[in-house]
Amino acid sequence: MTSRAAQAFVNSRIARYGRVDRLKIDSTNRAIEVVCSLEGEVDPVTVRVDRYELHDEGGKRFIEIKKASCSRPWLHRALEDFAPGRRFEVPGWAAAAL
């Protein structure tokens, strides 16, 4: 249930770019793998959050990306440049899955 809800949540965040085909959360190793079908891409794109941290701030939960990678070299470089240190608010139920 939580996995499906998490996938639906991510789909709602990236709907403008495509859709999530598969979402795998490894809370033990603090890693996430997302396989997406993105507009303009022929093959699925795999994005990995190789390491993340959770933070509580002002009664809200945030996920902070520490390291991320991607199956597309150009997007991998963009993630290296812009993802580390980025924080995203997540609903409490989603944070429980992380």
Could you read off the pLDDT of 73-90 as tens digits, one per residue? 999 999 999 999 999 998
Q: Which residues contact 48 (CB under 8 A, 6 or more apart)?
A: 31, 32, 33, 34, 68, 69, 70
| Mean pLDDT, rounded, for 24-38 | 93
Q: Please name every residue paired with 55 in a beta bridge, in sequence order, or none if there are none.
A: 62
The model's pTM is 0.86
Which H helix or E strand runs over 48? Answer: strand 45-57
Instruction: Count the Cβ atoms, other than its own, within 10 Å of residue 62.
Output: 16
33-67, pLDDT tens digit by residue? Answer: 999 999 999 999 999 999 999 999 998 999 999 99
pLDDT of residue 1: 43
> For residue 1, what is the DSSP state?
-
Amino acid, single-letter form, for residue 12: S
Structure-block tokens of residue 83: 């993802």
Mean pLDDT, the chain, whole residue set: 90
81 within 8 A of 69, measured Cβ to Cβ: no
7 has pLDDT over 90: no
8 within 8 A of 20, measured Cβ to Cβ: no
